Amino acid sequence: MSENVADEKIDLRGVLCPINFVKTKLKLEMMENEQVLEVTLDDGEAMRNVPRSIKEEGHKIIKVEKLDGGYKLFIKKSQ
Amino acid sequence: MPESTDAEKVDINELKSGGFIKQNQKDLFTVRLRVPGGRLDIDKMIKIAAVAKKYSRMGYCHLSLRQAVEIIGVHIDDFDALVKELAEFGQPVASCGPRVRVPTACGGCEYNPHGIMDTQKKALEVDEKYFGINCHHKFKMAFSGCPIDCNRTTEMDLGFQGVVEPVWEEDPCTGCTLCEKACLEGAIVAAEDGKPIFYREKCVYCGDCIKACPTDAWTAKRKGWAVRIGGKHGRHPREANDVMLFLPDEKVFDFIEQTLDWYKRNGKRGERIGTTIDRIGIEKYRKEVARPFITA
């Protein structure tokens, strides 16, 4: 699995905290261990909160990509 | 002013030190309960509610700014019975007047993701050791777990606020820039390669960078308490002086004892410690109390 290819994608731009995190969490729960989820988030509040919550859940952010007004996080599911 | 015969038997000042506060209504008092850190076991809450229902002649409680439950409208003739019933399930009455008050605290690190230090544990211990000690005036302490400072340590006679010092290692860092995003203070700026440049003078030691870092390139070097002295609200508010950073948790009792001792020696009757400091200078306090803890 290349770090640039995600198994699943979810676009959470326009989704508020903490719903964006909850949706990320639910998506990850449906995936297999070690699979990669690509999450697109707004800059600002979402980018301040979601990454640390993902870390607290024990998953691994393997890559961060900057977009116009937002970011893509590549999250490896870790059980 | 005429009082009832029963009321005359009781020394009002004595009552106040025990947490009984005179009300507008004749012979009715507010009874302030001792709830360190504002945490109440649910079973205890239910029992307090039953006692309050029985003895409040006004039908309500008030939650004080300092996290106490106050039973409103208790008749002076009911004091003994009320105190006895509260004691049956280990609920003491608080205090008022010129003495060390019940410490307040935020939820702390046990369940709040921002929490750095265990404020609840500390508030309980401090209450146990220092509650009710007589001073020149009231002496309020508070514990906040992080720099958001929900318990307003800048307004306390002595305030403790959790801090964590971040330290960065190059090896694990992938240059993802999440720490820059996480830092609200502009203390972390990503360089061209994404790796952080740290401006220590802007850091408030909240630890958000540590929590955000996906590879643990940012870790906690040390945790402790930021200490503030001489704050108060009221008619003449005074913002506390920051006197040190990273007081180790095990030095808190020492710090309180030395501060109370300094206040006793340098303060005047009826004077808050902030007023003492304004009168004789913060430098004297720093030199005699805070500095030995900093160099230690």
Q: Look at the block and give the residue holding tokens 């990454």.
A: A51
Q: Determine which of B181, B195, B219 to mutate to test the interface with A (most A C-beta atoms within 10 Å).
A: B181
A56 → closest Cβ in B113, B178, B208? B113
Rounded mean pLDDT for each run of 10 residues along chain B, 296 residues in total? 46 66 95 96 97 98 96 95 94 92 93 93 97 96 97 98 98 95 96 96 97 95 98 96 97 98 98 98 97 85
Q: Determine which of A36, A52, A53, A77 to mutate to test the interface with B (most B C-beta atoms within 10 Å).
A: A52
Is the separation of the CB atoms in B293 and B167 below 8 Å? no
Name the segment(s) of chain B with CATH classification 3.90.480.20. 5-88
Chain B residues close to A67, C-beta within 8 Å: none
Distance between A70 CA and the closest CA of chain B, angstroms: 11
Cross-chain residue pair A55–B176, CB shorter than 8 Å: no
A64 → closest Cβ in B113, B176, B208? B176
Q: What is the CATH number of the domain that holds A59?
A: 3.30.110.40
Radius of gyration of chain A (CA): 11
Residue A3 lies in a domain: no
Contacts of B111 (CB under 8 A, 6+ apart): none
Cross-chain residue pair A51–B181, CB shorter than 8 Å: yes
Residue A30 lies in a domain: yes
Residue B17 has what pLDDT?
66
> Could you tell me which chain A residue has the CA closest to the CA of B180?
A48
CA distance B237 to B246: 26
What residues of A act catalytically?
17
Secondary structure (3-state) at B245: strand
> Could you tell me which chain B residue has the CA closest to the CA of A58?
B214
Residue B296 has what pLDDT?
63
Amino acid identity, position B36: P
Domain topology for B5-88: Sulfite Reductase Hemoprotein; domain 2 (3.90.480)
Residue B2 has what pLDDT?
43
A52 → closest Cβ in B177, B184, B212? B212
Cross-chain residue pair B211–A62, CB shorter than 8 Å: no
Name the segment(s) of chain B with CATH classification 3.30.413.10. 104-295
Q: Report how many domains make up chain A.
A: 1
> Could you tell me which chain A residue has the CA closest to the CA of B212?
A52
Residue B153 has what pLDDT?
98
Distance between A55 CA and the closest CA of chain B, angstroms: 6
Cross-chain residue pair B174–A63, CB shorter than 8 Å: yes
| φ/ψ of residue B219, rounded to 5 | -135, 170
Those residues of chain B whose CB sits closer than 8 Å to some CB in chain A are 113, 174, 176-178, 181-182, 184, 208, 211-214
Residue B22 has what pLDDT?
92
> Which secondary-structure segment (H or E) carries A60?
strand A60-67
Q: Determine which of A48, A50, A54, A78 to mutate to test the interface with B (most B C-beta atoms within 10 Å).
A: A48
C-alpha separations of B132 from B16, B62, B250 in Å: 12, 22, 22
Is the separation of the CB atoms in B96 and B17 below 8 Å? yes
Low-confidence ranges of chain A (pLDDT < 50): 1
Write out the residue range of the structural domain in which residue A66 sits.
Answer: 8-76
Distance between A50 CA and the closest CA of chain B, angstroms: 9
Cross-chain residue pair A63–B176, CB shorter than 8 Å: yes
Distance between B20 CA and the closest CA of chain A, angstroms: 44
Residues making up chain A, counted from first to last: 79
Residue A1 lies in a domain: no
**What's this model's pTM, rounded to 2 decimal places?**
0.90
Q: Look at the block and give the residue holding tokens 């719903």.
A: A19
Residue A54 lies in a domain: yes
Tell me the two tokens of residue B77.
């003739």
Secondary structure (3-state) at A36: strand
Distance between B269 CA and the closest CA of chain A, angstroms: 49
Give ∠ CA B133-B137-B142 in degrees, rounded to 5: 70
Residue A2 lies in a domain: no
Architecture of the CATH domain B104-295: 2-Layer Sandwich (3.30)
Residue B175 has what pLDDT?
94
